[in-house]
Structure 1
Amino acid sequence: MTKKIEKEIQKLEFKETQLLDVAKKLNSGKFYPLDFLSNAVINRSLKLVFGFTTLLKDDNFIAASHLVRCHLDNIIRFSACWIVNDPHNFATKVIDGIKIDTLKDKNGKLMKDWYLRNLLNEEYPWITNVYKQSSGYIHFSEKHIYNTIQSADSNKRTMQFSFSKKDNNIDEDLKIEAIHCMAEITEILLEYLNGWNYTKVNSDIIKT
């Protein structure tokens, strides 16, 4: 692992502390149904970020890359809380096991993943691209084929393939891009969580 990647990982790991800080704030006062979802998304995010950084440190980018898509799922589905008429009623339904994609937003639209993703993409134009790129690692695809090819000689019509538990030919920029994606996703999640905490703390002011 290069010094540059190590530095970027440290920046991402700092966001774990920020997630824990907002968790403490959300659980220090009144508790609402939306807090169940908030706690769940914080807990899942901490595990995904830790898993991602651990795998990168162990030179296993292929496994780590899967977690970008999982982390993106956190903000895609959690964002639904902000586009419904009653977030607490919505949260209660999710707690009861009702699937989010069977519920409707305040405009009467079913909140399918693609719908939520497209809405987020309006504010964060990179969302759709990251969704598609990271899905390429979730499903067996051409990305895995290219990652297996170590070298190719078109003149000699030969190829060399690499088989290893660790990275051999993954470009450093690709790893850094993935780290930045995890960081940006976490930052969006923190915005939602801090916004909800502000609403709880200032509920009297907001009502008036």
Structure 2
Amino acid sequence: MASLADRLTKIEALEADLPRKAAPIIQPGTGMFFVDWYVMGAAQRTMAQSRGFRAMIETRNFPGAAILLRTQIDTAMRINGLRYLDRPEEQLSEVFQGEKTFRQLDSWEETDKERPKKMQDVFLRGKLVEEAPWIDPVYEKTSDFVHLSFRPLFSSIYHLDDDTRTISFAINGEDQTTDESDYFEICDAFFDVTKLTGTFILAILTGRHGCGEADG
């Protein structure tokens, strides 16, 4: 069975994999437009969050790692959502210039009232789940850490005494109780989400600029 260190090594390898595969696609002199800039920003965010995630795991900061997993899903949602934009280049220009946020953009899909659906989280999440159904429960669990709930409290409990009905807390930012298997699970989920995001990024770049090493 793969150890925690093995899992982190696999995640680190993905960080190197993305620029290696993107380099043959984005050659010097390649014309870059707003969609490309958005995708390149997503690639940078994906790699930065991956580095941060590994640091959180190494320091046993489970809540911090869960938040980074949730934001990695957020990147996947938006990159996957690019194909649902009504006029991608024009719309991302509006985002770039600060005229609109991404969630204010119209998709080419319509509601029952014949109005365009907006690129909001509920829409983007649904479209991503169509591609990867396993994302849905991961999204739900990690959202508890993004939006303050009682979930982070559990990692501060270091002793329960049933006889005296007392609870001892350690409020010091360190994870006290999360099982090793939970660390395995979150690392595996982060690897899968990061690989999915990288696949979306490489597919878009390949579609726009020709063949590269997008396979594998």
Q: Which residue of 1 aligns with 2:174?
A: 166
Deviations 1:61-118 (CA, angstroms, capped at 9, x unpaired): 2222211111111111222211124332232222122212211111121111111101
Residues 53-68 of structure 1 mapped to structure 2, 5 A cutoff: 53-68=54-69
Residues 1:110 and 2:118 aligned together? yes
User: Which residue pairs with 1:34 in the alignment?
Assistant: 35
Residues in 2 aligned to 1:168 and 1:149: alpha-carbon distance in whole angstroms: 6
Report the equivalent of 1:77.
Answer: 78
Instruction: Name which of structure 1's ranges 140-149 and 157-166 shifts more when overlaid on structure 2.
Output: 157-166
Aligned mate of 2:138, from 117, 127, 130:
130
Q: Where in structure 2 are there 5+ consecutive unaligned residues?
A: 110-115, 212-216
3-state DSSP class of the match of 2:12? Answer: helix
Q: Distance in 2 between matches of 1:84 and 1:165?
A: 41
Relative to total residues, which structure has the larger helix share, 1 or 2? Answer: 1
1:144 aligns with 2:146: no
- State the distance in 2 between where 1:157 and 1:166 align: 23
Q: Who is 2:20 aligned against?
A: 21
Give ranges in structure 1 of 5+ residues lacking alignment: 204-208
Answer with 150-159 or 178-187: which moved more. 150-159
Structure 2 residue aligned with 1:157: 165
Q: State how far apart, in whole Å, the 1-side matches of 2:171 and 2:23 are.
A: 44
Question: What is the count of residue pairs matched by the alignment?
Answer: 201
Structure 1 residue 17: Cα displacement: 0.8
Q: What do the CA deviations read for 1:29-49 (whole angstroms, capped 9, x no partner)?
A: 232321100110011111111
What does the per-residue CA deviation read over 1:146-165, in whole Å, with 9 as the maximum and x for residues that have no partner? 21222323333222223334
How far apart are the structure 2 equivalents of 1:162 and 1:171? Answer: 16
TM-score with structure 2 setting the length = 0.84
Could you say which structure has the greater relative contact order, defined with CA pairs below 8 angstroms and 6 or more residues apart? 2
**Structure-1 residue corresponding to 2:196:** 188
Distance in structure 2 (CA, Å) of the matches to 1:22 and 1:82: 21
| Residue 26 of structure 1: how far off its partner (Å) | 4.4
Give TM-score scaled by structure 1 length.
0.87
Identity of aligned residues (%): 23
Give the partner amino acid of 1:182.
F
Q: CA deviation at 1:16?
A: 0.2
4+ residue runs over 4 A deviation:
none
Query: Secondary structure of the residue that 2:8 maps to in structure 1?
Result: helix
Give RMSD over aligned pairs.
Answer: 2.0
Q: Distance in 2 between matches of 1:118 and 1:192?
A: 16
C-alpha contact 1:69 1:131 (8 A) present in aligned 2: yes
